[in-house]
Structure 1
């Protein structure tokens, strides 16, 4: 305070010990009545505003302050000039005038009047400060106590006015509560979540009100009443924030009630909590910070007050995720809601900033964020456990895509939309555990440079490897090798298409995985061709048909009979098998036709004439190449009845 006070020196003041003559105003416009009635403070004639300005302009008050500040010997009681008594009386009279005004706000009616009053109270606080360092005689003691009393009265007025102005906000604006990543559940919410768009009067103070509050705060803090000023501000702003959050539908949730809710209802509460906290982060906190900076001159004070308010509100809001963590039922379906909370807490920490005053708040919020992240890690790892523990002994009918494959790939596809959040939680988890179990491996990029795979990518590839191994194990449940390869193709193709259809998941897996998966699918395809159609093609082999240069009719008849039986069995069984991917189905049919039809057409053209025309040919040649094509085009549909099949069944009878 001395630094500030010394900056306002203005001339010299007579030395202590010399009694000044009675001071008389040199203008007929002002007259101090009842000069000897020192305690009759309110009886001052003339305009308070003009009189106070006149007193301040005389320079006598500033000279008195300077003399008090520069005095070396504090054991001598200072002389109190006559003008100082008038100074006290005018300030006290001005306080009475302010107090008697009707309406809530006492200031703001006359800018010059307010300005002179703030200057006067600032000087009075200087006098009381310096005068308190002296040894007082009886005269000085009495005046000093009166000065402290007037200053105390002024501080009470300013504190009341400060609280009043903080409670006045007249202009309104539209505020839209932000949506979270996941949609709001239709279940009713205890948050009363019907406030997607609302009118609010939060933090819309007129500029003149801000200016007055700044002056009031400056004077109170200068006078040593920073604690009272800060308490008044914090209380008013917390009430305003509580009211605003209530308008947005926020209510505290009883832990027991929340735990009794179904997960679908809890999802709704999580969604609305996310929206409210994001609204707080993106709207209320920035506005609150701006208000602090506008009212308080010193950045340190403004930062501390903002952090105090933000801490109180945030601790209250953190009770909700804490309640969620107490349930400790970390099923994998809850992962994405927990990641929404994690993302919201990231935004909250960013919105708070990095001021030293916010250290405790950031630590508390970060701690909650880490706990939510650990829960998310547990949920994702539960996916690994669910794959490992899926040991069903009943194969999926007709070689279709296994439900585990569909669930896992759709889960991973959605998880990749959160890959940034998941990368953070896995990195934090690995740093905490200090484990090398899931350390990122080196991967070669397209440009040939070596880089480290992300923590989440490593974890996700582990899940896909587990799924691959599980599907491979389940394929062994099929006794029919051809159906086993159809099953492997179906599931492998489903995984491949999921990766190709999602940029998010493709960024994690990369080209190496795609090439590997495609190569495996081609091998399954070759294995299926060899297992199913290799024996069929053997029936159409030219070897062994000629004996001594002539075609053996009995051998030829057996070849046609074998072909008919095999083809009919294939038609009967594989028309019920399912290939759900249309492109894969088309590729299979085209590849089968490309091998079987030309071979059959060639065999039929060369050896069909060796059978007698009529019943013999009808008995052994049941299919024409066009019929073969019809059958192939109806394989893998999953049903046994169609127009083409009924026609062929008639032909085969």
Structure 2
């Protein structure tokens, strides 16, 4: 029997019979043949190890062989026998023998597992595409290799070598993970270095950090979780613990940089990168939460991630507060030439348009902020109810639904309105005030309508209110400027003592021409940059002015037909009026110097 074991294949029928006999003896608690069978069984294991060490049997094949399968089963059986012997008072000699064999088997399997992890994973652990993203199939171990690692891990854990098995796996996968991060150009940056960086430089580092963190959330962590669950399919608690430990070590490094960024001086230009980081951290939480067990360590890790995320949420809230203050404090002494759109309006609307692209994050941030503000005086349940109810109410009459973000943006828009109203008073001409307010109101409306995100936040009702306000400015302008002109073209007051006289007709035509010239000279320097609004203004002016002038000419021109120098009084023909109107609101530079506000 002994010669067959040492010279023949351990998977021979004779060897399998020995295995069966050993297992049967153990199960039946028959110790009579244990010494001989254990010795034979130990030699089977030693024979396999010796052949692999001598190079007779290839060990770097991915697929598990029948011989290796039998070897792993033999290890597990010998481990069970060792436990049985350990309980026997007369088994000290056998125990020494089996322990020695199992130690050799452990060393052998440890190396086998390490080889599989490193050699078959080396190509897949270095797959970063041209967009600096990790391939989605990470880590792409062949199925045969994963199966083989699973069998080895199961055998090691069953034989009592769980700690060694986990160490080999953990070190190998952690090194592979760090290699991926290195290929994604992740570098540890000292907190002081972050504080000293210019914002342009720091933006680049943040972009790189986001790429790494998203790769971890979307690919690396899920891949590591799947691999661990496959290799340790028989030990889910071990798989979870290994993933938790890996995730914790990686997340701590990722959070260190985010923490440093959160402590830099806040400014409006940083908001969008802050929100990128906020969203990235939120994805990170989702990526690891389902695998984190509920114990103090994992709870602490999740708390740290949430705390870092909330710091960026708090920074966003503070930036919006700063924006409110900057609008309040934006006091100008010089009006914008031509009543054009004010730079403040452009800045705020473009800023809010970009901010609303982060609508989901900001909704969450302001909702949490509203709860925190209410916690000081309310219970948690009542606070939640208060915030939820607030989302179904509106502080503005014509808004159906108001969320904390909507309320925040409406506050900002109200401040802009107050600011613009104050700036309109810099214009001495009431008509130009209306043009200024109309320009800015139209710009705000078009920006809101042109952005799906802004429109979703503000609502269609708010847009309709804005349209009504702009139309009112239009009416005010029409009445202020052209009401006086239409008064001149009125037929009332044309008769003296019941008759139309030339002096009266001359005076009316002269006043009309003079007023039209003044309006054209002044308002051709005014600016209406929105083409549609400019067209609407011109059409509305022509619609009231041309018919009124044509009617006036048709009724009273005859009184000057035979008058010398009649063209001195009747300067314009009805068809000339449209040409003049078309010259309004172009911001004519040749006339700007003569503009009087």
- Same fold? TM cut 0.5: yes
5 Å matches for 1:181-330? 196=132, 203-296=139-232, 297-327=234-264, 329-330=265-266
Shift in alpha-carbon separation, 1:547–1:58, aligned structure 2, 3 A: closer
Residue segments in structure 1 that go unaligned for 5+ positions in a row: 1-29, 34-43, 72-77, 179-193, 643-653
User: Paired residue for 1:622?
Assistant: 571
* CA displacement, residues 156-175 of structure 1 (integer Å, 9 cap, x when unaligned): 22112211211012685799
Shift in alpha-carbon separation, 1:170–1:110, aligned structure 2, 3 A: closer
Q: Which has the higher helix share?
A: 2
Question: Which residue, 529, 532, 540 being the options, matches 1:591?
Answer: 540
5 Å matches for 1:62-211? 62-66=23-27, 81-101=35-55, 105=59, 111-136=65-90, 140-169=91-120, 196=132, 203-211=139-147
Shift in alpha-carbon separation, 1:53–1:119, aligned structure 2, 3 A: farther
Higher mean alpha-carbon deviation, 252-261 vs 395-404, is at: 252-261
Q: Distance in 2 between matches of 1:607 and 1:526?
A: 29
* CA displacement, residues 498-519 of structure 1 (integer Å, 9 cap, x when unaligned): 1222222112222211221121
Say whether residues 1:380 and 2:329 are aligned partners: no
* CA displacement, residues 512-541 of structure 1 (integer Å, 9 cap, x when unaligned): 112211211121111111111222222223
C-alpha deviation, 1:607, in angstroms: 2.3
C-alpha deviation, 1:606, in angstroms: 2.2
With structure 2 as the length reference, what TM-score do the two structures score? 0.87
Q: Distance in 1 between matches of 2:226 and 2:156?
A: 20
C-alpha deviation, 1:88, in angstroms: 2.6
Does the 8 A contact of 1:387 with 1:467 survive in 2? yes
Shift in alpha-carbon separation, 1:53–1:260, aligned structure 2, 3 A: farther
Say whether residues 1:54 and 2:15 are aligned partners: yes
User: Paired residue for 1:39?
Assistant: none
**Which secondary structure does the structure 2 equivalent of 1:49 belong to?**
coil
User: Paired residue for 1:364?
Assistant: 304
User: Paired residue for 2:550?
Assistant: 601
Say whether residues 1:440 and 2:379 are aligned partners: no
Say whether residues 1:430 and 2:391 are aligned partners: no
**Which secondary structure does the structure 2 equivalent of 1:167 belong to?**
helix
Does the 8 A contact of 1:575 with 1:637 survive in 2? yes
* CA displacement, residues 533-556 of structure 1 (integer Å, 9 cap, x when unaligned): 222222223333322222243333
C-alpha deviation, 1:364, in angstroms: 3.1
Say whether residues 1:336 and 2:272 are aligned partners: yes
Q: Distance in 2 between matches of 1:84 and 1:177?
A: 51
Q: Distance in 2 between matches of 1:151 and 1:104?
A: 21
Question: Which residue, 336, 352, 369 being the options, matches 1:396?
Answer: 336
C-alpha deviation, 1:634, in angstroms: 0.5
Q: Distance in 2 between matches of 1:518 and 1:583?
A: 13
Q: Distance in 2 between matches of 1:526 and 1:317?
A: 58
Shift in alpha-carbon separation, 1:97–1:467, aligned structure 2, 3 A: same
Q: Distance in 1 between matches of 2:341 and 2:11?
A: 92
Q: Distance in 2 between matches of 1:143 and 1:590?
A: 108
User: Could you say which structure has the larger radius of gyration?
Assistant: 1
Higher mean alpha-carbon deviation, 259-268 vs 311-320, is at: 259-268
5 Å matches for 1:462-473? 462-473=411-422
Computed over aligned residues only, the root mean square deviation of the Cα atoms, in angstroms, reads 3.2
Q: Distance in 1 between matches of 2:400 and 2:567?
A: 68
Shift in alpha-carbon separation, 1:411–1:579, aligned structure 2, 3 A: same
Q: Distance in 2 between matches of 1:248 and 1:277?
A: 10
Residue segments in structure 2 that go unaligned for 5+ positions in a row: 376-382, 592-597
Question: Which residue, 443, 451, 457 being the options, matches 2:406?
Answer: 457
User: Paired residue for 2:528?
Assistant: 579
